[in-house]
Each structure stands twice: as structure tokens, then as C-alpha cells.
A and B are shown apart, each in its own frame.
Chain A
Amino acid sequence: MTPNTLKTEQKQELIASLINEGEKDQAIQLLNEWAIQTSFNEVIFSILEPMLINWGKLWMQGKLSLAHGYISGKVAEEFYLLAANDPEFKSSSGKIKGTVILGNAEDDFHPLGRRLVRIYAQAAGWNIIDLGTDVPSEVFIEKAIENNADIIAISAMMFTTAKNILKVRQDIDKNGLSEKIKLAVGGAVFKLRPELVSEIGGDGTVDTAIDSPDLFDRLINQLKIRN
């Protein structure tokens, strides 16, 4: 059976198998071929997203490694970029759920979790503006106002850098934005010390990047109810 004649489930398995072997370029090439034969929408919603959701579950259960998550994230990231250039996909894309300003806390140089959040949240329909590592509070606020953002999402790996998020909380409140912008926080330190979320003024957190779209959904719903 050639890849062209495979059933949807078999295509998902084939992509999973290529990712498992670290064959990122082959996986993207195959997805692209299928997209040409059908459409980017078809490939994303029937093959890639169900596979990613399944992998996310396996990852959370400890059955896949961080490297698996990294490769699948890279495949998704590069394929979404291809899709973004497709006029049909652009015109048929669903409504953007909202805008998230994403970045690592000031002094934090651990980008992996943040990058995975960006990939999974973009795939779920969020407009993500990624500011990178070591982002000062003023830049988070400035970009949030400039882009009329709904959520500021900040990643921090360590206790010391997580404490820098408190400044963002204070600046949100000081600028009268607390009714308009929610503060999502995440990173290894919040798993170890869950009480830290409220201590630094976070509005919510999740344990893994794959859950970040659900957190953003919850937070934007809170804003809608309030406003």
C-alpha cells in the first residue's frame, strides 16, 4: 500500500512513526504531499491535530519523551508555516480565539516550554505573539496594549525568575488592565510549588504545554463573563 492510498488512521500512524524516528523532514514532506492532493485543512484537522492530541496524552502519561514532543512540535510548526502561505487555508481558517502575548520571564533563558506552548496554542486557533526569552515587564505590557491582547502568558523555570512575574502583575494592575488582560503562568517551578501561582499574581497555570489552549480558553471565558 502506498502512502497515497492509506486510510486516515494509517496516515496518522505513519506520521507518528516518522516522528518517532526523528525524520522531521520526511514527515513534513509527506504531510505536504497529502495537502496538495486534498487540502491543508484536511491534513491538519484529520491527520496532524488528532495525532498531536494523542501524542500529548501519551506524553503526559510518561509514555513519550520530551524529545518526541520536541520533534512533533517542530513538524507542526513547519507544516503550519506552509499552510499559512496557502490562500485556500488562509481564507478558510476559523476565527482567531484571541491574542496571547507570550514570553519567558525576565532573566529566564529556558525557551523549550514556551516554544511548545506557542505551537500547541497556534494550532488551537490562538494568535500568539512570541517575545522570546528574558522579557522585561514593560515589554509585556507595551506589546499587550499595542496588540489589544487578551492574555499575557509567561514561562519561568526557576523560583528566582518566576518571582519576576510579580512585576508584570503589578504593571497590569497599575495600568488598569486587570479587567481586560489575564495573566497565565507556567514552567517547572510551578509544578513543584503550585502556591507560587497566586503568590506572583497569576490567574492560572497548567502542567504541560499541550494543556495551554484549554487554559487560554478558560481565561478568555472569564474575561467575557466579566465584561
Chain B
Amino acid sequence: MNSLERILATVTGNETDYQPFTMLLSLYGASLIKSDTSTYYRDPEIWFEGQQAVVDTFDPDIVISPFSFPIEASAFGSELVFLNKYAPNIRKPIITSLSQINSLQIPDFEKSEAIKFFLRGNELLSGKYKGNKAIASPIHSPADLPSLLMGIEMWIDTLLFHPEYIDRIMQKTVEHFVRLGNEFLAGGTTFLVVPVNFTNPMMITEKIFSKLLPYLESAFRQIKGPIVIHNGGCKIMSFIDRFVKLPNVIALVLEHTESFDEARRIIGDKTILMGNFDGPNFVNLNREKATDITSKILNNRKADKHFIFATSNADIPYDTPVETIKTVVDTIRNFRKYDSV
């Protein structure tokens, strides 16, 4: 059973030879090949070299194409800042007044260096691993992207008090999402990963969520492949009943404090659940603690055939010891998932 077969078995609810797993090691690829992050997040060949090192070192079942939402937002014109040992961030949003929404340009895929970085990185990853591993492509939710284009405050303010501008920007972000998502899938991606850093109950009210849902439904319906909803570092439990009803959604990645049992009570047994080891906290753990947390998650989901072990939240930090990650991987590989169930 190769990695892709293992993941597909999880989709159909069949037994696997061992517990399938993935980790968000996008940034960590730079650490493994000792690359500075400003080069790593600009050059798809360097980035791919880092991801090959991730596979060679940890052999996850799912590999992840270039992951950086600020870079995606930079394709619209937002200014980036590159940070040593961290993924890049937004220095300055492109929209500073609502009237600028009208002139906001959707990225030209032929010209945008940011989009070319994503698509070339995905192409390299697919060329090497397609058919063997599942390839996941992170893409910013069309409802979350405005928070990087105009800042969180202005996006909340728009959603609350300037409804006439919601449709104008959402039309543009939905069009971009559908185009980029389908480009990823055509380039070999197995499924899209859509984090909900903004569209979650820690950030917005139910009323705002209900305004955004029709746009998500329209966008997801136009995607020609499966979609995984990722917590984005926020609790999502009170919204998951709506997320699983969106078109093409096959899986949810829970935040690290959220309960799989509660999620199962809400959404039933069929949707894949993923999680929920806190990725950014890896750097603070010794091997015993890492083993303990991994074992607890595995035992909690022992009988769950629709479960994929995954890190939740953001990237595993650059300075995390390799041994800590290997300890987690070894614990997963040695776990007897279906024994005594």
C-alpha cells in the first residue's frame, strides 16, 4: 500500500496498513536544506528541494504544495515582508480604502511571479510524487482573502457596515479561487486545502458567516476536485455542520484543542477528520511529550477509518529538532491501529 492508496482507503473507509499521516512541514523544508527563507519562498526549485528533503526524512503520506497565503495576497499587490526562519507576512495590504475594490485586479497567472511560484512548485511536486503520494494544495478561502488584501479590521467593518462592497470584492476573490484551485487540480493536486483563518467562530459572528456561506458554496461548487477545510489555527467546531455541507468538502482538520468525538457527534462518521497535534508547539516538546501527545491522538481515533493524523494550526517551526518530528513519525508507524478494536 503506497501513501496515495492509504489516503484513498481513508476516503472510502477501508482499513489501511498503518495510520496515514501528514504534517505541515512547508517551512521546515527550508530548515532541512539550510536555505534562507527569502530564497526558499521565491524559488520553486529551492522550495521543491526542501520538500524532497521532507519526504526523504519523514515520508508523510500527503505532500503539500507551496504554502503561504501572504504570497497569494501579494499576487493582488499587497506588500510582503520576508522574515528569517519564518514564512513571509503581509507588510501592507493593497486596499486601504473601500473605493479601491473597484480597481482591484485579479492576478494574471502568466505574469504574476507569486502565482508562478505556486504553480511551478506544484508541478515539480506532482512530477515526482503523483501516483505515489497524495498532493495537497493550500489555497486561501475566497472569504478569507479580503482580510489579507485590506486587513482584518477593514474586512470586518465591511461585512458589518458596508454590505454594498461585499459582493464587489467577493466576486473577484471567488473568480481567483476557482481559477487557481482548478489550475492546481489540473497540475496534479489530489485535493485542495482551504484554511478558514478568518471564516471561523473565533473571528466572526453567525450572522457574518451566513453572509459568506453563499459565496463559499458557489466557489466550492465550481472546483473540479475534493476540498479539505483546515482550522487555520482557530476553533471551528460551531461552524463544522455548515462546512461539511459545502460542495466537494471531504475532510476537516480540527484545531488542536478540539474534540474528535464532539465533531463526530455533529457531522457523523463519513467525513474524514484530521488533526490535531499543535504543529507550532513541536519546538517546545521533548521526545517523551511528543510521543505521549501522538499516542493519545492515535488511541482516541483507533477505530476511526476516516481519520488522518495531521498537525493542526500553522507550520512546524524552523528550529524544531529533527528528532522530535521523527519521534512522532515513529510513534505513528509503530501504532497498531486496528488491534483489539
- What residues of chain A have their CB less than 8 Å away from a CB belonging to chain B? 20-22, 24, 62, 65-68, 70-71, 107, 109-112, 115, 158-160, 192
Contact A68:B205 (CB < 8 A) given known A109-B92, A111-B151, A115-B153: yes
Q: Chain A residues with Cβ under 8 A from B207's Cβ?
A: 21-22
- What residues of chain B have their CB less than 8 Å away from a CB belonging to chain A? 81, 83, 86, 89, 91-93, 151-153, 156-157, 159-161, 201-205, 207-208, 235, 280
Contacting pair A67 B83 (CB below 8 A): no
A21–B205 Cα gap in the complex (Å)?
A: 8
Nearest Cβ distance between residue B257 and chain A, in whole angstroms?
A: 9
Closest 3 CB pairs of A and B: A112-B153, A67-B204, A66-B203
A21–B159 Cα gap in the complex (Å)?
A: 12
A112–B205 Cα gap in the complex (Å)?
A: 17
| Secondary structure call for the B interface | mixed
A58–B298 Cα gap in the complex (Å)?
A: 32
Contacting pair A65 B86 (CB below 8 A): no
Nearest Cβ distance between residue B146 and chain A, in whole angstroms?
A: 14
Q: Chain A residues with Cβ under 8 A from B152's Cβ?
A: 66, 110, 112
Contacting pair A160 B204 (CB below 8 A): no
Contacting pair B202 A65 (CB below 8 A): yes
Q: Name A71's contact: one of B83, B160, B201 (CB within 8 Å).
A: B160
Contacting pair A67 B156 (CB below 8 A): yes
Nearest Cβ distance between residue B167 and chain A, in whole angstroms?
A: 17
Nearest Cβ distance between residue A171 and chain B, in whole angstroms?
A: 23
Contacting pair B151 A109 (CB below 8 A): yes
Nearest Cβ distance between residue A113 and chain B, in whole angstroms?
A: 9
Contacting pair B83 A160 (CB below 8 A): yes
Contacting pair B153 A70 (CB below 8 A): yes
Contacting pair A158 B160 (CB below 8 A): no
A65–B204 Cα gap in the complex (Å)?
A: 5
Q: Name A67's contact: one of B89, B91, B208, B280 (CB within 8 Å).
A: B208
Contacting pair B151 A110 (CB below 8 A): yes
Nearest Cβ distance between residue A58 and chain B, in whole angstroms?
A: 12
A111–B93 Cα gap in the complex (Å)?
A: 12
Nearest Cβ distance between residue B322 and chain A, in whole angstroms?
A: 22
Would you give 6 A-B contacts (Cβ < 8 Å), ordered by A? Answer: A20-B205, A66-B156, A68-B205, A111-B153, A158-B81, A158-B83
Contact A70:B157 (CB < 8 A) given known A109-B151, A158-B83: yes
Contact A24:B160 (CB < 8 A) given known A112-B153, A159-B86, A160-B83: yes
Nearest Cβ distance between residue B187 and chain A, in whole angstroms?
A: 31
Question: Given known contacts A66-B204, A67-B159, what 10 new A-B pairs fall within 8 Å (CB)?
Answer: A65-B201, A67-B204, A67-B205, A70-B157, A107-B81, A111-B153, A115-B153, A158-B89, A160-B81, A160-B83
A109–B92 Cα gap in the complex (Å)?
A: 6
Q: Chain B residues with Cβ under 8 A from A70's Cβ?
A: 153, 156-157, 160
A67–B155 Cα gap in the complex (Å)?
A: 10
Nearest Cβ distance between residue B160 and chain A, in whole angstroms?
A: 5
Which residue of chain B lies nearest to A69 when distances are taken between CB atoms in the complex? Answer: B156
Contacting pair B205 A22 (CB below 8 A): yes
Contacting pair B93 A109 (CB below 8 A): yes
A111–B96 Cα gap in the complex (Å)?
A: 12
A65–B235 Cα gap in the complex (Å)?
A: 11
Contacting pair A107 B91 (CB below 8 A): yes
A91–B324 Cα gap in the complex (Å)?
A: 63
